Homo-oligomer: A and B are copies of this chain.
Amino acid sequence: MTESIPDQRLLYVSDNLSDEEIQRQVDLYGPLTDSVRALIAATVQTEVDDPDVRRARELVEEATALLRRKAIPGPYGVRWGASGWKRGWGNAADGLRNPVAPPLELHYDADGRVWADFRLGPQYEGPAGLTHGGVSALILDQLLGDTAVAAGRPGMTGTLTLRYRRPTPLGDLHAEARFDRIEGVKAFVRGHIADAEGVTVEAEGIFILPRWAREAVTDQTASTAG
């Protein structure tokens, strides 16, 4: 069955790092990511002229060269430490090391609700002054997928349907989701984004575990049971 497993599965890595080492990396790389996030907003908003823009660019390129002295050649992948601490740090929606991510910090309530409060800066604009509809989709795809995982039904996104009820402002927002139901191999999850006035975007996601992953889960269950 090896030939049916996509290459990207190689990017799911158990590197057995200790919790102490992972925490050290959080403390080292997290602030760098935050600084780059602030730079992104400044790049959108700046009105300084030639000499300052050129100097800023030189500084940015010097920083990039420093960081590139030792770097992985491709995407970050997903890594697990010795205790099971999972690091999807390259994730575009919630990656600790990805300045593109708002980031989204998910909270899991005992009753099954999964939610996040987050703040979107000027780099998430679509229509003038408003959150890009595709950024809302990015946040909801991540939230709904993680809600399926929390319900014990992990999967790849099969279908995502977004209904834009009214404009989503930039700034302080809230998102939440709940597992809805199962139909065969499909897990249905519903959620929304809201501002202070109420819901702005509703979403339904259908998540499906690929066959190779279902087989891996079955194998693991069988060997654990054995």
Contact = CB atoms under 8 A, between A and B. Distances in A.
Given A67-B48, A90-B123, A134-B141, A53 B39 contact: no
Contact of A92 (B55, B57, B125): B125
Interface in A30-77: 31-33, 35-36, 38-40, 42-50, 52-53, 55-57, 59-64, 66-77
A160 interface: yes
Interface in A202-226: none
A107 to B, nearest CB: 19
Contacts of A92: 123-126, 132, 134-135
Contacts of A164: 156-160
A128 interface: yes
Given A63-B39, A156-B164, A128 B9 contact: yes
A138 interface: yes
Tallying the copies of this chain within the complex gives 2
B167 A8 contact: yes
A6 interface: yes
23 contacts: A32-B56, A32-B60, A38-B61, A39-B63, A47-B71, A47-B72, A48-B70, A52-B66, A59-B66, A74-B129, A77-B128, A77-B129, A90-B122, A92-B123, A127-B156, A132-B142, A133-B156, A133-B157, A137-B138, A137-B141, A156-B164, A159-B163, A160-B164
Interface of A: 6-12, 28-29, 31-33, 35-36, 38-40, 42-50, 52-53, 55-57, 59-64, 66-78, 88-93, 95, 97-100, 122-130, 132-135, 137-142, 145, 156-164, 167, 169-170
Given A8-B169, A11-B129, 15 more contacts: A8-B129, A29-B43, A32-B53, A38-B61, A42-B71, A44-B90, A52-B66, A52-B67, A74-B122, A74-B129, A75-B125, A91-B132, A100-B100, A137-B141, A137-B160
